Amino acid sequence: MNMIKRIWEYDYNKWLIIVIILWIVIIIFTLINKNIYGNNYNRQYLLSATAQVLAAIGAILFSFTIIIAQLSSRYSQRITKLIFKWQTTCYILLFVFCIILALYGIPLNNDVIMKIILFMNALCLLLLLPYLLWLKEELKPERILLSLKHDTESYIKKKNSDGLKQNIISIDNMIMSAYSLSDYDTIQVGIDNLFNIVEESNDFPDIQSDIFNRLTDICIKCIEDPKIPYWIMKDNESGMCKIAKGQTNNETEFEYRENIINKYFKIAIWSLEKKVDYVGVEAIYRIKNLIENLIDVNIKKKYYDKLFSALLGYRTNLHKIGIKAINNYMNNLLDSIGGSQISLLDKLFLCDEISEVQNPLRIIITSVIASIIDLGEKSIENKMFQSTNIIISNSVSIIRKINDKKLDKEAKILFIGLWHIGAIGFKNNAFDVCYKIIDEIKAFQLVKYFDKYYQDASKKYPNQEQSLNGFQTMIKDMVK
């Protein structure tokens, strides 16, 4: 039943069945009417005309096929190979056979041969419509990708890595050709095909790595059209995480997740250069999810030293992108980075041993806090006050968690940093920033702790004494 449904799915199969029925009718009609040929002269003329008509139709038809194949090769050079399959070859041979048979029958005066010639000629002409419908179907990019997919499955079973690489190149080229033609359906099918190859090719780690790099390059090349990077990056059954799962046979979980994170950072950096913050936000969000998973797995195993190196690189890259986002006035991307920093700290606070002095992850906490303060300062200087306020809210929200974990050193750095941001705000007449800090510390009942670090802030930032005093006066006026 399923096979019948698949056959009936395509128009050319429906017409093929109709052609067979018509052919049978013609055969029956010819057999019933014995004297339809006339005299011998009429027979010769009919056969000669038939041979000429078939030759003309065949020449036009197969020239048309070659031209169409060449025009459609803008998607892939494999189209010529895909069109000239056994179906096309058989149809060409049928035309040649019918022409030769018609010429052969001209000097003969034989009713049986005459009938066979007419039967075959009728079949040849009746197959024109199914052939053209089949050709139209085969030229669809989706069909080409489906054919590549079937070839890929065969190559994987036969462990033919060379054939597999060629198919991946063809799919990659089709995706980029479809992008130039704004053919999004083909792009999505091509991306899904690459992910399917990843799932099925665990015995080919080099192939999986190659696909990963190609998908990253596609993201970068298509970065001005956010739909395509989103399809590649979305964290579901069609997302990049399939590549990570596929690489478990040749890399540790830690290493392949780091590899994915680095690729996402590359995409985020390109989004800055092209000023497409939507893509950068999406990339940062995916990085955040991967980092959270990385922390969960490795904290349980107490791989603190290994995790320290990865998180330090993560913090550094976030900070660099944050600075560039400020320089490009990309608020959404900057806010996404701030959210990722807070998420990172929240995860680290869940570590039971984070309070231990020797735990290297405390350096990460200190480093992230310093980054938050620096981004806050730069955002004020670039008058991105909305983002500054979000940074302030994030900073104050983690103070209680820092206190709960008895991380006194980190709390001191954060309080001094908030004094610094307040002073910068006062200096730049960004009084809304100052009010935001005051409102937040009042809401969390942190005023007395905040006052305690005024002297430390004065010592660390001696050049801001006047601004610090002005900010302190604002605090006193508002908390009376």
Q: What is the mean pLDDT, run by run of 10 residues, along the chain of 480 residues?
A: 45 73 77 62 77 86 80 64 77 87 77 79 84 80 80 84 85 86 85 83 79 84 80 57 47 65 84 82 85 75 72 90 91 90 88 76 90 94 91 87 84 92 92 91 83 90 91 83
80 is a domain residue: yes
Task: Provide the domain count of the chain.
Answer: 2
Owner of token pair 């050193």: 409
End position of a domain, from candidates 138, 172, 192? 138
Task: Measure the CA dihedral 13/18/20/23, to 10°.
Answer: -150
165 is a domain residue: no
End position of a domain, from candidates 119, 138, 157? 138
**Full-model pTM:** 0.69
451 is a domain residue: yes
23 is a domain residue: yes
Residue 276: CB atoms within 10 Å: 19
CA distance 345 to 369: 9
End position of a domain, from candidates 91, 112, 138? 138
List of long-range contacts for 448-453, beta carbons under 8 Å, 24+ apart: 449/399, 449/411, 449/415, 450/415, 450/418, 450/419, 450/475, 451/475, 452/415, 453/412, 453/415, 453/416, 453/419
CA distance 247 to 253: 8
Predicted local distance difference test score (pLDDT) of residue 300: 63
Which residue type sits at 377?
Answer: E
Judge contact between 346 and 398, C-beta under 8 A: yes
CA distance 282 to 289: 11
CA distance 158 to 212: 23
Domain that holds residue 32: 2-138
CA distance 35 to 475: 114
Predicted local distance difference test score (pLDDT) of residue 7: 44
330 is a domain residue: yes
Token pair, residue 226, equals 């956010």
43 is a domain residue: yes
Predicted local distance difference test score (pLDDT) of residue 397: 85
10 is a domain residue: yes
326 is a domain residue: yes
Vertex 305: Cα angle to 300 and 308 (nearest 5)? 90
